[in-house]
């Protein structure tokens, strides 16, 4: 790919894009990775909604010749961008996410644990679990789970508490984190939730569901550790620095690259990251677990319509059809703008940013989030290099949602993603 070639030269500083006639992005089938899933090259250590294929990030970093210094992902989810960075040769990573489960998965993927030690401790844990000794708890994590009996059978509850107690005996933080991820998958799998959905729905025939919790945990643990050792650990020895938490203001560091995929819209009407992660977040004592989706981008009600730049006409058009939905969409763009502006000072001159976004539909109107991102960066000392359009064939998310907000009325939401590439100005 040649920089700036085929780039649609829109002036994102001007409010000049006409509603419905815009066709953002240049098709580039190289980034489609048709037929490839996450597990093709990097089996995930824990399920997560709307993950990015690390192959995409790796290709971007190579094509745009990004400096191999450091990388920031401000909405890191399960940490796919770090895997891309690692493959490319970056050794210093910083990531943020408001979802505690996301932080755990990201950390697990890029924290080095020595193989023999890990395998020994795994055996020790499994032996302890199968010994089924008496335990005494300081506090019972079941008490954290809202409506616990509705979601988990009494029998499974007992087994889960025992397994968790054994995991807590391991005092090495990185090791404990890996074990907790296997536990988290188990918690969800043995609960009455329908397993192939991200939202929480109880299965119809829950009374006859009697999983063997120990067996499920052992299987999850073995598979997670195998994937960690086969696909991630061999590349982790070289990592120099790693910071992943929930508070972006915690770093004063400057970055040469951002590689990220922010949410497509508010969690309520797009992807419910909080709901997906509820059980483990509650189990571990995260008090905001049930309210997490409303804390994420676009989760709070806006009082005014978003009436700036490229998004103005679109929001106005939605407002003619449904004022509540227009306010919901506005809330997301107010938050996204604020969040992106908060990143500007953390990027070095000539630093590159890659935002992989989806242009969701609200009331049948496709919102040009890609153009919005480019516009916000261009108003803040960046130039737009390119927007690449790629087919979504492999994202782990529902491709349909209910833009009408009425159950059962579905429409295609997205079949493309846009990769917005911008670079910070060099003042001469």
Ligand X SMILES: C[S@@+](CC[C@H](N)C(=O)[O-])C[C@H]1O[C@@H](n2cnc3c(N)ncnc32)[C@H](O)[C@@H]1O
Interface residues with ligand X (CB under 6 A)? 48, 50-52, 75, 77-78, 80-81, 96-99, 102, 261-263, 273, 296-297, 339
- Output 70 or 80, the one with its CB closest to ligand X: 80
CB of 48 to ligand X, least distance (A): 5
Beta bridge partner(s), residue 366 = 361
- How far is Cα 397 from Cα 44, in angstroms, rounded to an integer? 15
- Output 91 or 109, the one with its CB closest to ligand X: 109
CB of 141 to ligand X, least distance (A): 22
Helix-helix angle 154-168:115-131, to 10 degrees: 140
Instruction: Find the residue with minimal CB distance to ligand X.
Output: 77
- Output 162 or 332, the one with its CB closest to ligand X: 332
Pairing state of beta strands 241-245 and 92-96?
Answer: parallel
CB of 206 to ligand X, least distance (A): 28
- Output 177 or 261, the one with its CB closest to ligand X: 261
**266: Cα within 13 Å, side-chain hemisphere:** 23
Reference 25, options 356, 269, 376, 405; nearest CA is: 356
Give 8's DSSP letter: -
Task: Give kind and range of the element (H or E) at residue 173.
Answer: helix 173-190
CB of 347 to ligand X, least distance (A): 17
- Output 297 or 378, the one with its CB closest to ligand X: 297
Give 232's DSSP letter: I
**176: Cα within 13 Å, side-chain hemisphere:** 11
CB of 307 to ligand X, least distance (A): 22
- Output 106 or 218, the one with its CB closest to ligand X: 106
CB of 351 to ligand X, least distance (A): 19
Could you please report the per-residue DSSP string of 61-82? HHHTT--SS-EEETT-TT-HHH
CB of 405 to ligand X, least distance (A): 20
CB of 367 to ligand X, least distance (A): 16
- Output 361 or 383, the one with its CB closest to ligand X: 361
- Output 141 or 262, the one with its CB closest to ligand X: 262
Contact 90, 68 (CB under 8 A): yes
Beta bridge partner(s), residue 295 = none
- Output 159 or 185, the one with its CB closest to ligand X: 185
CA dihedral sign of residues 199, 203, 206, 208: negative
Rg (CA), the chain: 22
CB of 99 to ligand X, least distance (A): 4
Q: How far is CA 328 from CA 263, 300, 302, 337, 420, in A?
A: 14, 8, 7, 15, 24
Reference 2, options 415, 317, 385, 403; nearest CA is: 385
- Output 44 or 186, the one with its CB closest to ligand X: 44
- Output 79 or 159, the one with its CB closest to ligand X: 79
Structure tokens at 289: 């677990």
CB of 86 to ligand X, least distance (A): 14
- Helix boundaries (H) for 297-366: 312-321, 323-341
Rounded (to 5) percent helix, strand, coil in the chain = 45, 15, 40
CB of 335 to ligand X, least distance (A): 6
- How far is Cα 4 from Cα 336, in angstroms, rounded to an integer? 26
Helix-helix angle 100-110:80-88, to 10 degrees: 20
Contact 96, 245 (CB under 8 A): yes
């Amino acid at each position: 790919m040649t920089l700036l070639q085929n780039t649609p030269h829109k002036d994102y500083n001007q409010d000049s894009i006409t509603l419905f006639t815009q066709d953002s992005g240049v098709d580039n089938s190289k980034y489609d990775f048709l037929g490839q899933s996450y597990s093709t090259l990097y089996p995930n250590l824990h399920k997560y909604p709307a993950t990015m294929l690390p192959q995409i990030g790796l290709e971007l970093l190579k094509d745009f010749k990004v400096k191999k210094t450091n990388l920031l992902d401000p909405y890191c989810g399960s940490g796919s961008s770090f895997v891309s960075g690692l493959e490319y040769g970056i050794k210093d990573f910083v990531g943020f996410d408001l979802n505690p489960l996301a932080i755990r998965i990201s950390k697990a993927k890029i924290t080095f644990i020595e193989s023999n030690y890990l395998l020994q401790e795994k055996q020790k844990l499994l032996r302890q679990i199968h010994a089924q000794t008496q335990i005494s708890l300081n506090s019972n994590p079941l008490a954290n789970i809202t409506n616990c009996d509705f979601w988990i059978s009494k029998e499974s509850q007992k087994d889960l508490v025992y397994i968790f107690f054994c995991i807590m005996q391991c005092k090495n933080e990185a090791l404990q984190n890996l074990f907790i991820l296997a536990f988290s998958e188990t918690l969800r799998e043995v609960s009455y939730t329908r397993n192939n959905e991200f939202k929480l729905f109880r299965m119809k025939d829950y009374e006859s569901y009697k999983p063997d919790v120990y067996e499920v945990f052992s299987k999850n643990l073995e598979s997670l550790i195998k994937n960690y050792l086969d696909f991630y650990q061999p590349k982790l020895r070289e990592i120099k620095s790693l910071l992943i938490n929930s508070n972006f203001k915690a770093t004063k560091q400057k970055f040469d690259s951002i590689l990220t995929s922010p949410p497509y819209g508010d969690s309520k009407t797009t992807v419910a990251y909080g709901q997906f992660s509820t059980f483990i977040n509650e189990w571990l004592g995260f008090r905001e677990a049930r309210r997490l989706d409303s804390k994420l981008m676009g989760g709070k009600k806006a009082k005014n319509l978003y009436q700036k730049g490229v998004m103005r006409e679109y929001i106005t058009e939605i407002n003619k059809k449904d004022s509540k939905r227009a306010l919901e969409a506005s809330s997301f763009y107010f938050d996204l703008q604020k969040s992106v502006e908060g990143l500007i000072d953390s990027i070095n001159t000539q630093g590159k940013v890659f935002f992989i976004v989806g242009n969701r539909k609200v009331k049948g109107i496709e919102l040009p989030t890609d153009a919005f991102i480019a516009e916000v960066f261009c108003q803040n000392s960046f130039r737009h290099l390119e927007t690449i359009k790629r087919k979504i064939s492999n994202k782990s998310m529902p491709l349909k949602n209910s833009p009408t907000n009425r159950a059962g009325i579905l429409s295609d939401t997205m079949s493309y993603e846009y990769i917005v590439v911008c670079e910070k100005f060099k003042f001469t």
